[in-house]
Amino acid sequence: MEIKPILAALRQHKAGTILIAMQIALTLAIVCNALFIIQQRVAHLSEPTGIDEPNIFVIQNEWVGKVTSAEADAKLRTDLDVLRRVPGVQDATTSNSYPLRGGGWDDGVRLSAEQIEDTSDATIYFADERFLDTLGLKLAAGRNFRADEIQPMSTRDRLAPPVIMVTRALADKLFPNGSALGKTVYLVGGPATIVGVVDLLQAQSVARWASNFAYRSVIVPRRMAIAEGAFYIVRTQPGQLEPAMRAARKALFADNPRRVWDEREGILSFAEVRSAAYESDRGMAVLMGIISLVLLAITAAGIVGLTSFWVGQRRRQIGVRRALGATRGDILGYFMTENLLISVGGAVAGALLAIAMNLWLVTRFEMHRLSLLYVLAGVLLLLLLGQGAVLAPAIRASKVSPVEATRSV
């Protein structure tokens, strides 16, 4: 292939060449980082909660009027009994929060009473003896809570359970060299002994600030006994989610209508919880996708425009080349190679720019380091885009007749 004369010709058209190469470079830099952000967001979207999502719904219940802690606890237990009797319901439990909720109680966990810095942050989940079964969690080691260990907790009580369960991620963090079972850790209220290790349970927040303890949770044997109510987590038989949700609402209000449910968030399937939790991630991924597509389209249009202009400008020159023996394939190859050379130049600059842009994002927005695979994929994408964009004008050029060489200027 005639690379040297093509380069020589491009040197005579510096402005157009540099502009297109710069456009390719900038597009590559932005698209690489955008694709990387999309991938991270999509991966984030797909992170497992560890619970039986398809068959779970949650209720946020609040009592009307002045209710004591003891009354609240009694009402809560009645509600759980009502829920467990609803047709299609497998089990029901209560907690202060649930995975992907977006907020709740996070606290530090220490290995000794004197320790100032926490060993880890963790999400605090209240649980009764049916919490694991209701959520579909797997106990990796140790035991579940016994019914007699579950205590009601009001806003005035300290969090000082004698026993707790932790997730495997937290156990590994706290005791990387051995089993966590039977070990004592220190919560905000005092010491607690680990009696069980749960395989996988995601934290209640998927926000960036909670990412360093995303799967580190402490499960405490406590029930929320406050007038502001609590969350009920209900697991249904497979395929019974929607009818069970409708029946649960009816049953609870029939049993005690003096309660308040938020119109939008009073009762949610877990699919709705997941959708709401990742709304911003999805939005960001879509936005980045649109930006990438627009940039790629603009770059492709730029290549088509410039090549079409060059083909028009060089009609006679193409005719001369054909007269001197160039086949249609030679002319097609000329323009494809010309574009490839410009694209490679732009891609090299773009790869460096993509890495520089990512380093800036890493320091400025705590993003992850861009994988070089993304740069390579971006380079390949831009080269293919360039070749695709140049194809139509190049085919037009290859159809220029050799007789064009004899036309008067």
Partner 1 sequence: MLKMTHLSKVYRTEVVETYALRDFNIDVKEGEFVAVTGPSGSGKTTFLTIAGLLETFTGGEYHLDGVEVSNLNDNARSKIRNEKIGFIFQAFNLIPDLNVFDNVEVPLRYRGMKAPERKQRIMDALERVGLASRAKHYPAELSGGQQQRVAIARALAGSPRLLLADEPTGNLDTQMARGVMELLEEIHREGATIVMVTHDPELATRAQRNVHVIDGQVVDLAEDPRFHQHQSRAGAPA
Minimum distance from CB of 336 to partner 1 (Å)?
A: 16
Q: Which is nearer to partner 1, 232 or 334 (CB)?
A: 334
Minimum distance from CB of 292 to partner 1 (Å)?
A: 34
Q: Which is nearer to partner 1, 71 or 404 (CB)?
A: 404
Minimum distance from CB of 313 to partner 1 (Å)?
A: 11
CA distances 336 to 46, 93, 378, 388, 389, Å, are: 40, 66, 19, 9, 10
Q: Which is nearer to partner 1, 271 or 324 (CB)?
A: 324
Pairing of strands 151-153, 222-224: parallel
CB 201 within 8 A of CB 99: yes
Minimum distance from CB of 209 to partner 1 (Å)?
A: 58
Q: Which is nearer to partner 1, 12 or 177 (CB)?
A: 12
Q: Which is nearer to partner 1, 64 or 403 (CB)?
A: 403
Count Cβ atoms below 10 Å from residue 318 Cβ, excluding itself.
25
- Give the footprint of partner 1 on this chain (CB under 8 A): 2, 4-5, 8-9, 12-13, 316-317, 320-330, 401-403, 405-406, 408-409
d(CA 375, CA 237): 47
CB 383 within 8 A of CB 344: yes
Nearest in space to 385 (alpha carbons), one of 309, 292, 315: 292
CA angle (340 as vertex; 337, 343 as ends), nearest 5: 155
Minimum distance from CB of 400 to partner 1 (Å)?
A: 12
Q: Which is nearer to partner 1, 155 or 401 (CB)?
A: 401
Minimum distance from CB of 401 to partner 1 (Å)?
A: 7
Burial 45-61 (b: 16+ CB within 10 A, else e): eeeebbbbbebbbbbbb
